[in-house]
Structure 1
Amino acid sequence: MRQQARRDSRGILDPGRLLRQVRFRRRLPTPALRPYVEHYWLIDWELTEPFAQRVVPHPAVNVVFHGQDGGPETAEVAGPGDELFVITLHGTGRVSGVLFRPGGFRPFWRRPVAELTGRRRPLATVGLRAAGPVCPGSDDDRCRRLDDLLTGWAPAPDSLAAEATALVEEIRADRSILRVDDFARRHGSSTRRLQRLFLDHVGVGPKWVIRRYRLQEAIEQAAGGPLDWAVLAGDLGYSDQAHLVREFTAVAGVSPAAYARSLR
């Protein structure tokens, strides 16, 4: 079991700019929730002009509590995103978010996660509720409220959800996983079974998960300095550099070269 939240920037476009504009932190939930929750993410800002942040979504569900300029707090469920997510922040505000592990939301919601893919819904419309505002107070206060909230939702033990979580974690960690049929054989399963399992518990298919994690890796490496894109394309399982460029541009909204230039 991990003892601290991950510190990578995967999925965040121009992470350095984000950290210059807002206070961004990650915190782990209470140990009993860690089989389901990747981490909590907390953001606070005081801006004199609007700030737009772009994110390439993970294959996971987020629950987000948002307070803006002293107004009422809103709460929504964001399913796995199938396209670039852009949010514009302004004025003064706070966000307290829960990033579930892939497969981790299913034991709370108990419905096919594919029903949420590409959608954002008010929390109350999915049958889950918050007893009160989450965002006020210190980081410890906010995390304690999230712990209490999720514990109160009483996740149901689900062996298939745990299997899906483990499989997605393997894909994220092992760069050699490039084809669904090979991955299925590795686990003595059929491609069709993996597809059903992933759609029901993760919300997207295994091929999508593989491509998304490889693309997020390319984005993160671009933030680290100059790259040989042809070599990276081969390492990440793309047929050639042009294939990587097309997919990068389609998801991130800019070409790899333009993104790298923008960081410099």
Structure 2
Amino acid sequence: MKPDNPGSARVDDVERAHLVDPRDATYRIGRWGPGPDLADVVRRFWVPVWSVPPGSESPQRVLQYPVCLMIVTDTYARFYGVATGLSETVLTGDGWGVGVMLTPGAGGLLVGDVGRWTDRHDELSVVFGDAGADLARRVRAVMDDDPLDESVQREATGLVEAWLRGYLPMDDDGHLVNAIVDRVEHDSSVTAVSQICDGFHLTERSLQRLTRRRLGLTPKWLIQRRRLHEAAERLREPGDTLAALAAELGYADEAHLGRDFKAVTGMTPREFSGRFG
């Protein structure tokens, strides 16, 4: 199996979050965006299909974005809040999943106070009642036909899209949170919370309250996670020294980058980079 589905539109920043082992060829992933009317609510869909040899495991480690997730598989159907550390799913046997990465503001649209879900997950049937259970049943009915067929995968994500349209439109706070996260994720010059406050005309207290309620996170976490995503992306390719990378990412020195990276990923920057050597 190939690690990516070549027939799907590639989203550039997927791999910076997914700490993929380049030697792992037990899965493939279809990835694509939502319909235009759901752009405020959905970042992307991902549909993994895996086949892991008996007695083996395939750990999937992710530095999650500041977003909530939903995924339906053949064995569970869950809503996930943000994992503040390293998120890990261990694949075994044969299976599939139909996942949706929501936008930062969409979690609150679906469940209210997202802070209650930080580092937590539960079944869709618990979070959304009968509506969640029904969505899981319908997705499984479609995917059971042929999970490797992209037309089947897209039919399944179409069911999720239709379900999510019931939550439109996005509210003002959701739009604001989407804009704040977009700024932090795509502007490496943002290295202090005060810059976010100035850019969006918010007091630090208002910003803290907003991100806690709509993301379950602090503004400082947003900046640190962006740095770690950038580090993971850059460490895959030969180039700058760790000292130069640390300076570019706004760390005081290489040691600070190393401590942050290992604390969250469990690997030193050199150990991670060595996997792609």
TM-score, with length taken from structure 2: 0.86
Report the equivalent of 1:112: 113
Matched, 1:58 2:65: yes
Question: Could you list the runs of 5+ residues in structure 2 that have no partner in the other structure?
Answer: 1-8, 146-151
Output the CA distance in 2 between the equivalents of 1:87 and 1:252: 14
Flag the 1:210–1:63 CA change in 2: closer, same or farther, 3 A.
Answer: same
Output the CA distance in 2 between the equivalents of 1:115 and 1:100: 17
Question: Could you list the runs of 5+ residues in structure 1 that have no partner in the other structure?
Answer: 68-72
Letter in 1 for 2:17: G
Report the equivalent of 1:208: 221
Report the equivalent of 1:134: 139
Query: Could you say what secondary structure the match of 1:193 adopts?
Result: helix
Flag the 1:260–1:157 CA change in 2: closer, same or farther, 3 A.
Answer: closer
Aligned-pair CA distance for 1:156: 5.0
Output the CA distance in 2 between the equivalents of 1:17 and 1:55: 16
Matched, 1:243 2:256: yes
Work out whether residues 45 and 93 of structure 1, in 8 Å CA contact, stay in contact via their aligned partners in 2.
yes
Work out whether residues 56 and 83 of structure 1, in 8 Å CA contact, stay in contact via their aligned partners in 2.
yes
Output the CA distance in 1 between the equivalents of 2:181 and 2:199: 14
Matched, 1:78 2:83: no
Output the CA distance in 2 between the equivalents of 1:15 and 1:149: 34
Aligned-pair CA distance for 1:115: 0.7
Report the equivalent of 1:172: 185
Considering only aligned residues, what root-mean-square deviation do their CA atoms show, in Å?
Answer: 1.7
Query: Could you say what secondary structure the match of 2:240 adopts?
Result: coil
Aligned-pair CA distance for 1:127: 2.6
Report the equivalent of 1:225: 238
Work out whether residues 41 and 170 of structure 2, in 8 Å CA contact, stay in contact via their aligned partners in 1.
no
Work out whether residues 5 and 39 of structure 1, in 8 Å CA contact, stay in contact via their aligned partners in 2.
no
Output the CA distance in 2 between the equivalents of 1:22 and 1:15: 11
Q: Deviations over 1:28-51 (max 9, x none)?
A: 122211111100110001221321
Residues matched between the structures, number: 253
Query: Could you say what secondary structure the match of 1:263 adopts?
Result: coil
Letter in 1 for 2:264: V
Work out whether residues 21 and 275 of structure 2, in 8 Å CA contact, stay in contact via their aligned partners in 1.
no
User: In structure 2, which of residues 238, 247, 252 is the aligned counterpart of residue 234 of structure 1?
Assistant: 247
TM-score, with length taken from structure 1: 0.90
Aligned-pair CA distance for 1:182: 2.3
Work out whether residues 76 and 120 of structure 1, in 8 Å CA contact, stay in contact via their aligned partners in 2.
yes
Work out whether residues 14 and 263 of structure 1, in 8 Å CA contact, stay in contact via their aligned partners in 2.
no
